[in-house]
């Protein structure tokens, strides 16, 4: 085994992003169809051998990290732009104790990092979320929630405690940082110190203590309201989804209930000014697997997807579910409706994108069918009972997951998206392709790419606008790069979002590896409360 492959494999084993990163980085079908091909009609995918090299191993076992860090006035290569001031937060799973056999990397405890950027200086800080689960396990000195979202195996001592890890996403709300995990309520943290203020944040009692809260709430582009939902909302395995809207001041102003056709992972959703869209995929609740001591989900091959939509402001009784082919879609890049059609852009794969999520039929995980592309789903709003939804691949050569947009456009028409991806045009197919960030302009279908140096792996990117009123996509794209050859040491790479191909304008050098990341969030200086002395 060459030194390079060895280093890559070592890093893969250490990666806490598992399938999310695997899907982001994975190379998929080599027999590429013409742009716009409906995936359902695409030719059977073939492999070139690159897929296996780039996909994470199915049995990835993350090593413990657990170091809470403070680095003041970080070393910077290049120059932090004068108009980039604010806080970049990120969170990911960092197991407090070694994971139990059979558990998956998604079940590590939430470890939140902060790059605070002000007047050219960058300070770094990271802290675990000290939620009920973390505190109880710390006191016991062992794991008390041994299996991902399987309450049957919980230690009896945790009865009544929240199982939330808060390892998936973070968002600012009412001058707090909310750390999120979709099976539980948020945890509230201090925006500057990362001190955990409330391990079970219920919006002052407006949501039940047991209310699940999505990791992907949307900020309404006009009102600033937080639109969110919880699935399995009436208990473990329930088919009830609760959707709600909360003002920037914290008052719940809307609440609706819908039932899903079957209980599958509802990781993300789409919200326009008029509609809410839910998308049900065959990563399905598996009661039998849990009774055997396994995790919450398995991929149920052959099951359909369902595109469901209903009016915002209603009671949910108008929900329409449209059946579609077996697919996976985990994250939304953006969405819009033009009065005639409703469009949702998602990362989409033919099958299970996560190598560590079991296949219910016992088959082997397939990195080709698990590789995602940005795909536009659409529904004709003029039809009273639409029978099908459209599926259009937008950028055939770009594989990847964890898409992002300029978050000022969460609920209104947008045209700019960003995607971490392997090199869409690798010079040497026999070599591991570079990790890249792509900018996609849907109005022209033109793309721009930043290629990270060999051996670097890029985490999800986050966009920071140049100013409150800057045009869409005008600002900076930032994300953490990890270097396998340096034991996972990390940099924060900052790029001009309109000129990705010109390389970083600044690179914040950290002296060490840092906790892994699933998602990140930018809070501009104009939204931050004053820093405490
Ligand atoms: Fe996510």
Across residues 297-314, what is the average pLDDT?
A: 98
Q: Are 46 and 33 in contact (CB under 8 A)?
A: no
| pLDDT tens digits, one per residue of 130-149 | 999 999 999 999 999 999 99
Tokens of 209: 């203590």
Q: Which residues are CB-neighbours of 159 under 8 A, at least 6 positions away? A: none
Left, alpha or beta for 242 (phi > 0: left; psi -120 to 50: alpha)? beta
State percent of the chain over pLDDT 90.
85
Backbone angles phi, psi at 506, to 5 degrees: -155, 150
Q: How far apart are CA 455 and CA 483, in angstroms?
A: 6
**In 56-152, which ranges are continuous DSSP H helix?**
132-140
Q: Cα(302)–Cα(120) distance, rounded to whole angstroms?
A: 53
Mean pLDDT of 42-56: 40
Locate the DSSP E strands across 247-304: 252-259, 270-271, 275-280, 283-285, 297-299
Q: Is the distance from CB of 23 to CB of 354 less than 8 angstroms? A: yes
State yes or no: pLDDT of 6 exceeds 60. no
Mean pLDDT over 270-282 rounds to: 98
d(CA 413, CA 136): 45
CA 331 / ligand 1 centre spacing (Å): 6
Is residue 414 within 8 A of residue 406, CB to CB? The reply is yes
How many angstroms separate the alpha carbon of residue 79 from the centre of ligand 1?
31
Range 385-413 average pLDDT = 97
Task: Name which residue leads in pLDDT, 274 or 431.
Answer: 274
Q: What is the pLDDT of residue 432?
A: 80
- Residue 62 confidence (pLDDT): 58
Neighbouring C-beta atoms of residue 474, cutoff 10 Å: 16
Give me 96's structure tokens: 């407090």
CA 257–ligand 1 middle distance (angstroms): 22
Summarize pLDDT for 99-139 with one digit per residue, the tens. Answer: 999 999 999 999 999 999 999 999 999 999 999 999 999 99
pLDDT at residue 52 greater than cutoff 80: no
Phi-psi region of 20 (alpha: psi -120 to 50; beta: other; left: phi over 0): alpha
Query: Is the pLDDT reported for residue 43 higher than 50?
Result: no
Cα of 334 from ligand 1 centre, angstroms: 14
User: Is the overall model pTM greater than 0.85, yes or no?
Assistant: yes
How many Å lie between the centroid of ligand 1 and the Cα of residue 372? 14
b/e 439-452 (16+ beta carbons within 10 angstroms → b): bbebeeeebbbbbb
Average confidence (pLDDT) over 307-311: 98
Average pLDDT, stretch 367-376?
96
φ, ψ for residue 151, nearest 5 deg: -70, -15
What do you get for the CA distance between the two ends of the chain, in Å?
53
| Mean per-residue pLDDT of the chain | 89
By three-state DSSP, how is residue 371 classified? coil
Ligand 1 centre from 427 Cα, in Å? 31
d(CA 133, CA 164): 7
By the 8 A CB rule, do 99 and 105 touch?
yes
Write down the pLDDT at residue 314.
97
Residue 16 has pLDDT above 80, yes or no: no
- Between these two residues, 4 and 485, which has the higher pLDDT value? 485
| Cα 103 to Cα 108: distance, rounded to the nearest angstrom | 10
Give residue 443 CA to ligand 1 midpoint distance, Å: 25
CA 429, 431, 432, 436: dihedral to nearest 10 degrees?
Answer: -60
Q: Please tell me the predicted confidence (pLDDT) of residue 111.
A: 98
What per-residue confidence (pLDDT) applies to 103? Answer: 96
What's the rounded mean pLDDT across residues 257-275? 98
CA of 384 to the centre of ligand 1 (A): 32
Binned at pLDDT 50, 70 and 90, residue 61 comes out as low
Q: Return the pLDDT at 38.
A: 27
State pLDDT tens for residues 332-354: 999 999 989 999 999 999 999 99
Q: How far is CA 518 from CA 15, 52, 137, in A?
A: 11, 22, 23
Separation of 3 CA from ligand 1 center, angstroms? 33
Using CA atoms, how far apart are residues 285 and 246, in angstroms rounded to an integer? 29
CA pair distance 514, 457, nearest whole angstrom: 13
Residue 235 has pLDDT above 50, yes or no: yes
The helix (run of H) or strand (run of E) holding residue 322 is: strand 320-324
Place of tokens 């929900």: 319
Ligand 1 center to residue 167 CA distance, Å?
Answer: 10
Q: 195: burial class by Cβ within 10 Å (0-12, 13-18, 19+)? A: exposed
Residue 411 near residue 220 (C-beta atoms within 8 A): yes
Percentage of residues in the chain having pLDDT higher than 70: 88
Distance (Å) from CA 533 to ligand 1 centroid = 34
Is the predicted pLDDT of residue 369 greater than 90, yes or no? Answer: yes
State yes or no: pLDDT of 321 exceeds 90.
Answer: yes
Tokens of 109: 């405890």
Instruction: Tell me the CA–centroid distance for residue 5 and ligand 1, in Å.
Output: 29
List the one residue out of 288, 287, 275, 285 whose CA is nearest residue 342. Answer: 275
- Residue 370 has φ and ψ, to the nearest 5°, of -90, -5
Q: Give me the pLDDT at residue 194, please.
A: 98
Q: Which of 202, 175, 208 lies closest to 187, judged by CA?
A: 202
Backbone angles phi, psi at 7, to 5 degrees: -60, -40
Element (H, E) at 277: strand 275-280
pLDDT at res. 215: 98
Residue 427 has what pLDDT?
85
DSSP string, 167-194: -SEEEEETTEEEEE-TTS--EEE-TTT-
Q: If you count them, how many residues does the chain have? A: 533
More confident residue, 140 or 4: 140
* pLDDT value for 429: 76
């Amino acid at each position: 085994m060459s030194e390079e492959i060895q280093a890559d494999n070592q890093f893969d084993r250490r990666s806490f992003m598992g399938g999310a990163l695997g899907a982001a980085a994975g190379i998929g079908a080599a027999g590429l169809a013409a742009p716009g091909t409906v995936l359902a009609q695409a030719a059977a995918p073939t492999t070139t051998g690159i897929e296996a090299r780039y996909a994470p191993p199915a049995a990835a076992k993350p090593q413990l990290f657990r170091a809470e860090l403070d680095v003041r006035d970080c070393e910077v290569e290049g120059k932090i732009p004068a108009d980039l001031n604010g806080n970049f937060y990120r969170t990911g799973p960092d197991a407090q104790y070694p994971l139990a056999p059979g558990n998956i990397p998604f079940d590590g405890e939430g470890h939140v990092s902060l790059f605070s950027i002000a007047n050219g200086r960058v300070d770094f800080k990271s802290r675990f979320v000290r939620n009920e689960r973390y505190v109880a396990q710390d006191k016991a000195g062992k794991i008390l929630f041994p299996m991902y979202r399987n309450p049957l195996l919980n230690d009896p001592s945790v009865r009544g405690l929240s199982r939330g890890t808060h390892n998936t996403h973070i968002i600012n709300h009412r001058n707090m940082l909310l750390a999120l995990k979709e099976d539980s309520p948020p945890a509230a943290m201090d925006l500057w110190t990362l001190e955990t203020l409330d391990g079970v944040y219920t919006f002052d009692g407006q949501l039940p203590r047991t209310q699940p809260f999505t990791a992907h709430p949307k900020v309404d582009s006009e009102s600033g309201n937080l639109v969110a939902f919880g699935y399995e909302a009436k208990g473990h395995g329930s088919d009830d989804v609760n959707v709600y809207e909360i003002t920037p001041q914290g008052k719940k102003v809307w609440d609706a209930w819908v039932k899903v056709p079957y209980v599958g992972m509802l990781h993300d959703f789409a919200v326009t000014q008029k509609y809410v869209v839910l998308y049900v995929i065959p990563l399905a609740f598996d009661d039998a697997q849990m009774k055997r001591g396994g995790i919450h989900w398995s991929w149920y091959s052959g099951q359909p997807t369902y595109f469901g939509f209903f009016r915002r402001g209603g009671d949910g009784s108008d929900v329409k579910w449209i059946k579609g082919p077996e697919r996976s879609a985990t994250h939304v890049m953006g969405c819009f409706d033009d009065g005639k059609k409703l469009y949702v852009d998602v990362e989409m794969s033919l099958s299970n994108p996560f190598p560590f999520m079991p296949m219910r039929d016992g088959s082997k995980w397939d990195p080709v069918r698990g590789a995602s592309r940005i795909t536009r789903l659409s529904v004709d709003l003029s039809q009273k009972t639409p029978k099908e939804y459209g599926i259009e691949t937008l950028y055939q050569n770009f594989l990847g997951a964890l898409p992002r947009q300029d978050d000022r456009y969460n609920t209104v028409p947008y045209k700019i998206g960003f995607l971490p991806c392997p090199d869409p045009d690798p010079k040497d197919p026999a070599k591991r392709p570079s990790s890249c960030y792509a900018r996609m302009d849907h109005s022209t279908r033109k793309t721009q790419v930043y290629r990270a140096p060999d051996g670097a792996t890029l985490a999800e990117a986050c966009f920071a606008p140049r100013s409150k009123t800057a045009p869409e996509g005008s600002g900076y794209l930032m994300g953490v790069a990890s270097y396998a050859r340096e034991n996972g040491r990390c940099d924060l790479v900052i790029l001009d979002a309109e000129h990705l191909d010109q390389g970083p304008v600044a690179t914040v050098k950290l002296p060490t590896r840092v906790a892994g990341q699933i998602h990140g969030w930018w809070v501009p200086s104009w939204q931050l409360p004053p820093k405490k002395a």
